Structures are given as structure tokens and as C-alpha cells.
Chain A
Amino acid sequence: MSAETDFDPDVMGLDHTTVTGWGRTAPTAAWLIRPRTYEEAAAAVLDCGARGGIPRGLGRAYGDAAQNAGGSVLDMTALDRVHAIDADGGTVLCDAGVSLHRLMEVLLPLGWFVPVTPGTRYVTVGGAIGADIHGKNHHVSGSFARHVLALELLTADGEIRTVIPGSPLFDATAGGMGLTGVILTATIRLQPVETSLMSVDTERATDLDDLMARLAATDHRYRYSVAWIDLLARGAATGRAVLTRGDHAPLDALPARLRRDPLVFRTPRLPATPAILPDGLLSRTTVGLFNELWYRKAPHARTGQLQRISAFFHPLDGVPDWNRVYGRGGFVQYQFVVGHGREDALRRIVRRISERRCPSFLAVLKRFGESDPGWLSFPVPGWTLALDIPAGLPGLGAFLDELDEEVAAAGGRVYLAKDARLRPDLLAAMYPRLDDFRELRARLDPRGVFVSDLARRLSL
């Protein structure tokens, strides 16, 4: 390799390896560095060579956001200390490499929960801020960065800066995909809970209009809200869905036997997915069967069902390496948002996906609330749909390009943490603060130390 580095491999755990995102598409090779102290992180940033570096957490970004071909990838997961918990005020100060899973283990027994969690607990705090992640409570709580009180950022000059909300650097970092620097620590405001169980209401929607009407009319009553859509259903059933909504169960909702230990955090874990699975496991037939079953299995209406946090928020976390079911070719996740009043665009897109018969068994619709100020932060008030599709599906690239145009024309955008394929020229239309972001980066990091495959591909 021609890439040069000054690190002693024994000290830093330096390793040259190929890296992909969770979707397992477009592998590229990089030097993997795993700093164990802030000083090692600073040294890695200062010496990361001509092709720069990018921080990486647990690798759950679907696309190429935490890859850096030919350069350095800073695996931040060794920096995983929880420094201080204010159990009265409800805040935590921790390293960016701490996972949300770890935070839940530590915080739940104290009666606190992370303010925002995505569909997996296995993301780091740094990644959560870098992607400005959202969860099922976005319509109430906004995205992750809204709950960050302060963070420490290691910038390209090797300095550690304290960044607080309201500053341009904060707004560039929240959703900035790791390109403003390496987040070292964060102080996060927490959500109080009485129990570790969720009280969940489930209902079915017969088609897309029914679903949207139910969500629009009643979403405000639930802290958490999400709908699973059957995108293989066609005709009158197009957009049929199962809505799952709920809130943290109060103590008095628990039966006596559960009240003895109301804050216990249990997470079932099934055996890992085999490393090699046949390609084409997820065909229209198998996914169609799954969807049919999943829809029929859901009750027409059920209220107040008690569910564990892991079952409600993170059902797939119980199956390690589930991304392997998509086979060697991997998969892409397509997530977009269109604003309120653009329901026509959403309907058109759902119809097109249904007609195209994309084998997607993970398709999720939800309503976003107010957006947060991150310049490249994804959520805007409106409707967001996310779906997984095998990357090997013929003609998929061109099809998604067409959907992008529809999304952009409706004033919407796609989510960079999940992107692996957006046409670069559509980016500016989707993210109007892009120029501010580029300008701040040029000023803060004139040598272009922080760079990723995503940044190269989209000219961030």
C-alpha cells in the first residue's frame, strides 16, 4: 500500500481492511484505527495522511458514510465510558463511542431512557449525533441532537472544542455525517420512565388513505408511533398497514408480578444469521408470503399490550447480522420525507413501488414533527417512508433515481445516513443549507482531513 502512516500497529491496532456500511454494498479499503484515548484520537486525526479520515461507530449507517477509501477509518467504539449520570436532573455525560444499548443498560434501572432511539440499539452516541437520528417519537421529541446539551468535538487542527446548541458548528455537526470532526463526548438530556415496559396499541389500516387518515387524526395522542406497510399489496389494498403506537407504561399499568422489578432491562438474542446465505432468499414470493402473514397476524385492534423495550423498538436486534439475509449483493435502504400537503407525492410513490413489486419486507411509514436546526439533518415535518430492497434487483438504480426526482420535486429529501446511490446533482435541492455546510467545512478543515466515501460521492 502506498498510504503512509506513522502509527505503530501494535499500539494503535492499525489494520488495513475493506469496509462497507450495513447494506454491504460498495466495499472500499481503508486503514482501520481504533483510538483508546482522546490523545490517540487526536494523533490519528493529525496524521491521517493525504486521503483523510472519518469516524465510525458500530457501522449501522446503511451506505458509505463511515467508509473512507484509501484513507483512515477511526473506529470509536473503544472510547466507551459513561462519565457521569445526573440521576436527579436526568442527564448523562458519556463518550461518543458508547452505544445506546449500553446507555439503556445503565440508565433504565435509574428510571431514565434515551430520548431518541432508532430501530436498533447498536448505534453509538457519536453516530446518533452525526446522522441526527430520529425514532418513533419524532413527532413529539424531534431528532437526537435536540436532546444534546453540549458535545466535545475534535477538529481537524487537533483541538478539542466544546460545542453547544445554537452555534453554527453545532448545527453543522448535528447531521453532519462526521465531516466536521470527531465527536468525543456528549451530554444528553434523558427521558424519565417509571417502568421498562411499553404500553402498545396495535391496529390495522386497510389501505394507504386509511393509514394516513388514522395517523393524521390520532398521532398526537401517542409518544411513539410507526406503521409497517405491505408494499407488495396491490389494487385496493395498496398501502395496507399495521400501526404500532404506544408510550412507556406507567407503574400502575403493570400487573403485580412485574411491579417487583419494573425497570429491568431484558434483551433476547437469537443465534446469529449464517455468514453465507443463498442469494435471492428474499424474492417476491417469500417476501409476499411474509407480508401476508405479518398483516394477518396483527390484530384488527388491540390496546394496552405490554411489550419489552427491545420488542417494541428493536425487534431486529434480536437477530445478529440480519443484514446477511440479503445475500452477497447486499441491499439498499431508501428513506425519504415529503412535507405535509405533499401527500399526493407520497401516494404516487407508494403506488409506483407497489406496482414495481419491490420485494421489501421492512417498509415503515411515519409522520415527522418539527425539524431541528442541523444543516444536513434529515427530518422535516411531513411523511417519511423507509424501505429495504435487495441491491441486485434489476433496474433498481434507475427506478430509485426516478423516485428521487419525484421526492425532490415535492420539496422532499432522502436520508444521507442510509444513502448509497443518490445522484449528486439532486443534493442541493434536497438540502438547502448545503452551501453553508460546505463553507463551514472549508473554513474549519481547509486541508480536507475529514472525508468519507459519502462525501466524495456527493461532494459534501
Chain B
Amino acid sequence: MKDAFGLPQSLLVLGGTSEIALATARRLIARRTRTVWLAGRPSPALEEAAGQLRGLGADVHTVAFDALDPGSHEAVLGKVFAEGDVDMVLLAFGLLGDQARDEREPEAAVRVAQTNYTGAVSAGLVCARSLQSQGHGSLVVMSSVAGERARRANFIYGSSKAGLDAFAQGLGDALHGTGVHVMVVRPGFVRTRMTAGLPEAPLATTPEAVASAVELGLRRRSETVWVPGTLRVVMAALRHLPRGVFRRLPV
């Protein structure tokens, strides 16, 4: 169960090797979380992540999960929920892709879209139904500021996150009053493996800062969390810039 501060005792991470997800898991284990399910494609990295979390004192299981195989989601995730209540689901899988290549190779672009959007729709709905029947739980969805307004530099990734973001908001409304809390997290540029080698955007942040914002959002039962918080204002302004101006911005 969650405690008075919204902190979960059991956590299911979809995208079990995500640095942001693991930073969040570490933070939650330091507070109340005792059981963690790391779902992802079987790999040494997934096992290593599980081992690290075990070292912090949690009971950690790995689950073979493939975002690109929606047909399997019901069976795979159903098994996790059958083991006991899941107080929080962290939907954190995603691909950044390579914009230049993806523009040249539509199939690669589709893979980004299918992972970030289609896979999330499937997994999100499967989890939402289980959370709803247990009458409680948080579904925390890792969106991105990139989804707030499409940019020339990464609009394929951005559009997939835009879809995910809209989906998660609607799901949150659908689940309002069911005891299930859906929280959309929109980090800006996060310094991780995913962004290694990319030019750093202004207001860049870290996985640890995202984790800390997630914990705060759980306590406040927030519906939207920006990391860093100032991005809320920045993006509110950028969203309303005329296309001609936005196109010329060095962002």
C-alpha cells in the first residue's frame, strides 16, 4: 500500500534498465519500497540493475517484457499483478532514435513510434485495468518536454512522446475517482546514456533530480510534473510562439 506520503511499498518498472527509472527506484527503496519488479528485455544489464537494487535491501524480480510485442503484455504483466498488489507502475521505456537516420529509414522511425507510443498504450492500459481492480496505485508515465511542441531536431521522438503524453493525460481522466493516480512526468534534457554525445539543452537535469521530482509528485498527488519545475513556465511560453519564430529558435 501507499503510505500517507504516497510512497509505494511495491514498484513495477517498465523499462527496467532506464537510468531515470533506476534512480527513482533507488530513491523509493530508501523510503518504503521493498518489492521491485524490473520489466525489460532479458539482458545482462537488466540483471545487473536488479542486483544493484537488491544490494539496497529490496526484493527484486526481473520480468521479460518487450514493448514491441503488445500481444504478450497482458500475460506478462498479469503475472506480476497476480503475485500481489502493485502500488506503483513506472512506465519508463523509450527510444530516442537517431533523427537523421530515422528520417532516411522510415522503418527505424516506426520502431521509435511503436516503442514509445504503441507499446506504452498497450502496457499502460493493461496496468491501468489491474490498478483499477485493486482500487489503488500510481501509474507514473515518463513523457518529455519534447512532446510539448515538435522541434526540427527530434520531431520523430517528440511526436511519439506527444502521443504518449496525450494518452496518459486521458487515461488519468478516465481513472479519476477510481483510487488510481496517473502522473505524467515531463523532464527536459536529462544527462543519461540516451543523450550521451548530444549537445546539452538549457535547463539540463539528472536522473536523480527526476527521481526527486517523482517523489514530490507522489506526495502531492500531482497530475503533471516538470523537471526542472521552471520548464513549466518556459514551455508555456514556447508553446504559444508563432511557427515562423519557433522554427528559427536555436533549440
Cα–Cα, bound, A276→B1 (Å)? 27
Is A202 on the interface with B (CB-CB < 8 A)? no
Offer 24 A-B interface pairs, CB within 8 angstroms, sorted by A: A1-B132, A1-B178, A3-B133, A18-B177, A18-B178, A18-B179, A25-B4, A25-B5, A26-B1, A27-B179, A28-B135, A29-B177, A29-B180, A51-B134, A69-B85, A69-B134, A70-B134, A391-B5, A391-B219, A392-B219, A398-B31, A420-B3, A421-B5, A456-B85
- Structural contact, A457 and B135, CB atoms closer than 8 A: no
Q: Mark B112-152, 1 if CB is under 8 A from A, else 0.
A: 00000000000000000100111110000000000000000
- Structural contact, A397 and B3, CB atoms closer than 8 A: yes
Cα–Cα, bound, A396→B4 (Å)? 10
Cα–Cα, bound, A441→B64 (Å)? 37
CB of A19, distance to nearest CB on chain B (Å): 8
Is B9 on the interface with A (CB-CB < 8 A)? yes
Is A330 on the interface with B (CB-CB < 8 A)? yes
Interface residues of A (CB under 8 A from B): 1-3, 17-18, 23, 25-30, 51, 63-64, 68-71, 328-330, 332, 391-392, 396-398, 420-421, 423-424, 453, 456-457
CB of B37, distance to nearest CB on chain A (Å): 17
Cα–Cα, bound, A18→B181 (Å)? 12
- Structural contact, A329 and B220, CB atoms closer than 8 A: yes
Cα–Cα, bound, A1→B174 (Å)? 12
- Structural contact, A456 and B178, CB atoms closer than 8 A: no
Is B191 on the interface with A (CB-CB < 8 A)? no
Q: Which of A1, A18, A398, A456 contacts B133 (CB 8 A)?
A: A1
Given contacts A70-B133, A70-B136, A456-B1, 10 further A-B contacts (CB under 8 A): A2-B132, A3-B133, A18-B179, A30-B135, A30-B179, A69-B85, A69-B136, A328-B221, A391-B4, A421-B3
Q: Which of B3, B4, B32, B179 contacts A69 (CB 8 A)?
A: B179
Q: Which residues of B contact A30 (CB under 8 A)?
A: 135, 179
- Structural contact, B1 and A457, CB atoms closer than 8 A: yes
Q: Which residues of B contact A329 (CB under 8 A)?
A: 219-221
Q: Which residues of B contact A71 (CB under 8 A)?
A: 135
Q: Which residues of B contact A3 (CB under 8 A)?
A: 133, 135
Chain B residues 170 to 207 lying within 8 A of chain A, measured CB to CB, are 177-180
Chain B residues 1 to 36 lying within 8 A of chain A, measured CB to CB, are 1-7, 9, 31-32
Which secondary structure dominates where chain B touches chain A?
loop
Q: Which residues of B contact A28 (CB under 8 A)?
A: 1, 135-136, 179
CB of B148, distance to nearest CB on chain A (Å): 26
Q: Which of A18, A328, A330 contacts B4 (CB 8 A)?
A: A330
Cα–Cα, bound, A225→B196 (Å)? 65
CB of B102, distance to nearest CB on chain A (Å): 39
Q: Which residue of chain B has its CB nearest to the CB of A25? A: B4
CB of B237, distance to nearest CB on chain A (Å): 26
- Structural contact, A23 and B135, CB atoms closer than 8 A: no
CB of A191, distance to nearest CB on chain B (Å): 35
Cα–Cα, bound, A69→B135 (Å)? 4
- Structural contact, B135 and A70, CB atoms closer than 8 A: yes
Q: Which residues of B contact A64 (CB under 8 A)?
A: 1
- Structural contact, A29 and B179, CB atoms closer than 8 A: yes
Cα–Cα, bound, A420→B177 (Å)? 20
Cα–Cα, bound, A64→B32 (Å)? 16
Q: Which residues of A contact B31 (CB under 8 A)?
A: 397-398
- Contact of A2 with B133 at beta-carbon distance under 8 Å, contacts A28-B179, A69-B179, A457-B9 already known: yes
Cα–Cα, bound, A27→B179 (Å)? 6
Q: Which residues of B contact A420 (CB under 8 A)?
A: 3-4
